[in-house]
Amino acid sequence: MNELTSLSLAQARDGLAKKDFSAVELADAHLLAIEQARALNAFVLETPERALAMAKASDARIHAGKAGPLEGIPLAIKDMFCTEGVRTSACSKILENFVPTYDSTVTSQLWRAGAVLLGKTNNDEFAMGSSNETSHFGPVTSPWRRKGSNVAITPGGSSGGSAAAVAAHLCLGATGTDTGGSIRQPAAFTGTVGIKPTYGRVSRWGVVAFASSLDQAGPFARTVRDSAILLRSMAGHDAKDTTCIDSPVPDYEKAVGRSVKGLRIGIPKEYRLDGMPAEIEKIWEQGRAWLKAAGAELVEVSLPHTKYALPAYYIVAPAEASSNLARYDGVRYGLRVPGRDITDMYERTRAEGFGAEVRRRIMIGTYVLSAGYYDAYYLRAQQVRTLIKRDFEACFKAGVHAMLTPATPSAAFGVGEKGQADPVEMYLNDVFTVTVNMAGLPGIAVPAGLDGQGLPLGLQLIGRPFDEETLFSAAHVIEQAAGHFKAAKWW
Ligand code: GLN
């Protein structure tokens, strides 16, 4: 790590404005760090030439007094976001050679704000997974290791490359997508901050679709302030996504440092799972104590339908995925494997183009949507989803401002250690995060400590709809108390 890659995004922004260093120098420092960190497999595509050209343009704007809010800030973009002229594969073989002719709304807003593209980061294929192991480009290795061990640890998933890149100081921030926990779980596993905004806060246009009623994009950063800065530029109304809300984007950074005195923080009792590691319980208790010491009031609350969230999610998400992924048919774009006739071509293309986990989701999805099973599975799952949402609404109505839960049921596990024999073992990772997607609420994961093996643990704060500001304020209290966590460099 060199001096410029040790800065926070806010520090880099201020240093650029004061002309302490140039955007080209900042980009160069990160490009070098990326080159030296290829062992992590965090990037599936590096874009050094584009980065330097963008940085040069940033320097010109800084000199002309026309800097945007993210001017010259080097970022990594999850490979689920379309980037004009830059391959976007969703880390699937079926899109291995897909180069979009347009940018997603999120990325175009980031470039408009002055940010610099360093490259595209690795993720689980079509964002289906919790460990980055389903990627066509191979797993990501976390910069974190267990004490005294050199076993490769997963950064979590599906946004594993973004989380690892931020944690390893390869960029100042990164984008992620979160359908069931894919921002918050990898953030928790890598000691970084990750927020999934309220459904509708950030445009989904140009983001490769997984489950459209659950997908939401958000940032990864090393500090709460940095994530607030990034979200402001990512969020906003977009007529191209009809589920995107038309309301002004607050200056989230202003919420960082705001007092939490008098806030009522709910502690949902259903998140205390049988067999949960004592260290997770301990960190949760610690988080409660920190918020209490800062003046928040803690109240035990009940979200009685929590236990149905995971099974319902694994009906709704595959159902929507099976429909969204129908477009990859070898006709319009992506891979085409020739066949005897058109049906044979479809079948060969999809059989060869999709990996095992994606095929499994498509099969589950088509099954639960099929005539005869639709009412028993899909319809019921949607009804359960409404009940989950109502649980939260009742608590908020009773005066709860936000809730505090663990972000994950365990610390990060080793690559290849989980879900080999039974995929459900992997799905269980999402117990604390999927509820938030099912209810469409905002959730933030913030680092809170290290476990006995030296791996990061995160806490999750869940907020009222469109009240990301309270999450930033409360997460900042935890950050102040817990401090920052950095992986020892071995790569
Ligand atoms: N791990 C969950 C899944 O595999 C969530 C993934 C995500 O949020 N994209 O579906």
Tell me the domain boundaries of the chain: 1-491
pLDDT at 103 over 90: yes
Identify the burial level of 46 via C-beta atoms within 10 angstroms of its C-beta, where 0-12 means exposed, 13-18 middle and 19 or more buried. middle
pLDDT at 1 over 50: no
User: What pLDDT, on a 0 to 100 scale, did the predictor assign at position 2?
Assistant: 63
Ligand 1 atom at shortest distance from the alpha carbon of 128: 4
User: What pLDDT, on a 0 to 100 scale, did the predictor assign at position 368?
Assistant: 96
pLDDT at 233 over 70: yes
Q: Mind listing the pLDDT tens digit for each residue in 330-384?
A: 998 899 999 999 999 999 999 999 999 999 999 999 999 998 999 999 999 999 9
- Ligand 1 neighbourhood includes 430 CB (under 6 angstroms): yes
Mean pLDDT confidence for 148-159: 97
Mean pLDDT confidence for 78-94: 98
Q: Which of 158, 159, 203, 410 is catalytic?
A: 158
Cβ-based neighbours of 184, under 8 Å, separated by 6 or more: 178, 194, 195, 196, 407, 433, 436, 443, 444, 445, 458, 460
Q: Is 166 in contact with 41 (CB distance < 8 Å)?
A: no
User: What pLDDT, on a 0 to 100 scale, did the predictor assign at position 423?
Assistant: 87
- Ligand 1 neighbourhood includes 185 CB (under 6 angstroms): no
Q: Is 283 in contact with 406 (CB distance < 8 Å)?
A: yes
Q: Using DSSP bridges, classify how beta strands 173-178 and 216-221 pair: parallel, antiparallel or unpaired.
A: antiparallel
CA atoms within 13 A on the CB side of 19: 7
User: What pLDDT, on a 0 to 100 scale, did the predictor assign at position 274?
Assistant: 86
Q: Which of 78, 120, 196, 418 is catalytic?
A: 78
* 247 assigned to active site: no
CA distance 303 to 399: 15
- Ligand 1 neighbourhood includes 79 CB (under 6 angstroms): no
* Position 408 confidence tier, pLDDT thresholds 50, 70, 90: very high
CA atoms within 13 A on the CB side of 109: 23
Identify the CATH class of 1-491. alpha beta
Pull the structure tokens for residue 463.
């907020």
CA distance 35 to 46: 9
- Ligand 1 neighbourhood includes 178 CB (under 6 angstroms): yes
* Position 422 confidence tier, pLDDT thresholds 50, 70, 90: confident
Q: Mind listing the pLDDT tens digit for each residue in 279-317?
A: 999 999 999 999 999 999 999 999 999 999 999 999 999
Q: Is 211 in contact with 80 (CB distance < 8 Å)?
A: no
pLDDT at 425 over 90: no
Q: Is 144 in contact with 169 (CB distance < 8 Å)?
A: no
Ligand 1 centroid – CA 302 distance (Å): 25
Residue from 360, 430, 432, 460 whose mutation best tests the ligand 1 pocket (most atoms within 8 A of CB) = 430
DSSP 8-class letter at 308: G
* 473 assigned to active site: no
Q: Is 152 helix (H, G, I), strand (E, B) or coil?
A: coil
Ligand 1 centroid – CA 6 distance (Å): 30
Give percent above pLDDT 90 in the chain.
Answer: 96
Q: Using DSSP bridges, classify how beta strands 116-121 and 74-78 pair: parallel, antiparallel or unpaired.
A: parallel
Name the CA dihedral angle for 49, 51, 54, 57, rounded to a multiple of 10 degrees.
-80
User: What pLDDT, on a 0 to 100 scale, did the predictor assign at position 455?
Assistant: 98
CA distance 72 to 487: 26
Q: How far apart are the first and last CA of the chain?
A: 11
Cβ-based neighbours of 385, under 8 Å, separated by 6 or more: 312, 316, 438, 439
pLDDT at 412 over 50: yes
Identify the burial level of 383 via C-beta atoms within 10 angstroms of its C-beta, where 0-12 means exposed, 13-18 middle and 19 or more buried. exposed
CB atoms within 10 A of CB 268: 22
DSSP 8-class letter at 457: E
Q: Is 126 in contact with 358 (CB distance < 8 Å)?
A: yes
Whether the pTM exceeds 0.75: the reply is yes
Q: Is 201 in contact with 424 (CB distance < 8 Å)?
A: no
- Ligand 1 neighbourhood includes 181 CB (under 6 angstroms): yes
How far is residue 58 CA from its own chain's centroid? 27
State the chain's maximal CA–CA distance in angstroms.
70
Mean pLDDT confidence for 264-273: 96
Ligand 1 centroid – CA 184 distance (Å): 10
Pull the structure tokens for residue 460.
């999750």
- Ligand 1 neighbourhood includes 128 CB (under 6 angstroms): yes
Q: Is 196 helix (H, G, I), strand (E, B) or coil?
A: strand
DSSP 8-class letter at 64: T
Continuous H helices in 238-355: 278-293, 309-324, 342-353
User: What pLDDT, on a 0 to 100 scale, did the predictor assign at position 333?
Assistant: 86
Mean pLDDT confidence for 50-66: 98
